[in-house]
Amino acid sequence: MTIYPQQEWQPISASAAGFDPEKLAAVETALRSQAGTDGRYRVVIVQGGRLVVAWYQGVGCADQLRLASATKSLFSSILGILIDEGTLPSADAPLFDYYPEFMDVPEGTGPKPGRYAYPKDRTITFRQLISNTSGYMKPGEAPGQVFNYQTYGMNILTHALAKLHGDYDSNDPAGSPGLMPLLDEKLRKPIGAQWGYYKANFDLPPQARINIFGYYDGVKASALDMARLGWLWCNWGKWEDTQVIPEAWLREATAVAPA
């Protein structure tokens, strides 16, 4: 039977969850041995919506840590939700129609020499950004042709989504809430999570137009909050009786992309 945590997770024993208690204990012992006395780790195992174990050392299970690039999976979920709601027509919509500012990065104002908005970048789509195939500010990489992991592409994606919600202004990036209100409304509150947020920038030259491609929206969460998010994804976006994320979007997002 599938259940969902309320304010607290319901516990379940390892044996009742289908684990061999001795083997599970051996895993914890090996983890402690590998980490040593100074190592930090935390592990949460959930089965059927119940908490089996929560192991941690050097950091509390409820402490909020920065998710860094793992946050990009949350961005994907927000994109799918906005498409389902009709805010965007599809993932193949051109970014330029919603955030034309991303092209306002002439030579010498990008993150490093040779990196700026090229004419080819004008056709970049939301799908290409979320799949790291946009080629944004990359010479010789046509949109949709090359996989290249890139945070700047994710930044302009989140700025566009936030702008659709009235929450990003490239003329006042520090004063803009960014994607945080959407993450709160569409993901955090529906699953009862308590995560927080932060903004970050790389150390870039003063002439870099970080108001266009900087200001990374980050999430800091506890292990138990991440377990909630994982459980939402495991259930194809459903939380109790609510379809928080479109199932079709999650199935597409977790499928192997065609060559």
pLDDT tens, position by position, 148-169: 999 999 999 999 999 999 999 9
This prediction has a pTM of 0.95
pLDDT of residue 79: 99
- For residue 185, is pLDDT > 80? yes
Separation between Cα atoms, residue 253 and residue 85, nearest integer Å: 17
Q: In what order do the strands lie in the sheet with 196-200?
A: 65-66, 216-221, 196-200
pLDDT tens, position by position, 57-92: 999 989 999 999 999 999 999 999 999 999 999 999
pLDDT tens, position by position, 221-238: 999 999 999 999 999 999
- For residue 4, is pLDDT > 70? yes
- The CATH architecture of the domain made up of 69-218+242-253 is 3-Layer(aba) Sandwich (3.40)
- For residue 257, is pLDDT > 80? no
- For residue 130, is pLDDT > 80? yes
Asked if 53 and 44 count as a contact pair (C-beta separation under 8 A), the reply is yes
- For residue 258, is pLDDT > 80? no
Instruction: Give the relative orientation of helices 223-234 and 72-85 as an angle to the nearest 10 degrees.
Output: 40
The counts of H helices and E strands in the chain are: 9, 7
- For residue 259, is pLDDT > 80? no
Total Cβ atoms within 10 A of residue 172: 9
Nearest to 115 by CA among 141, 79, 89: 141
Question: Which ranges in the chain belong to alpha helices (H)?
Answer: 21-35, 72-85, 126-130, 151-164, 180-183, 189-191, 210-213, 223-234, 247-253
pLDDT of residue 2: 83
pLDDT tens, position by position, 39-59: 999 999 999 999 999 999 999
Q: Domain ranges in the chain?
A: 69-218+242-253
Triad 199, 204, 205: Cα angle to 5°: 140
Triad 138, 141, 143: Cα angle to 5°: 105
Question: Which ranges in 44-170 belong to alpha helices (H)?
Answer: 72-85, 126-130, 151-164
Measure the CA dihedral 144/89/178/175, to 10°.
110
Total Cβ atoms within 10 A of residue 258: 4
| Residue-averaged pLDDT of the chain | 96
Separation between Cα atoms, residue 156 and residue 135, nearest integer Å: 13
Average the pLDDT over 125-154 and give the result. 96
Q: How many residues does the chain have?
A: 259
pLDDT of residue 122: 98
pLDDT of residue 102: 99
pLDDT of residue 1: 72
Question: Which ranges in 53-119 belong to alpha helices (H)?
Answer: 72-85
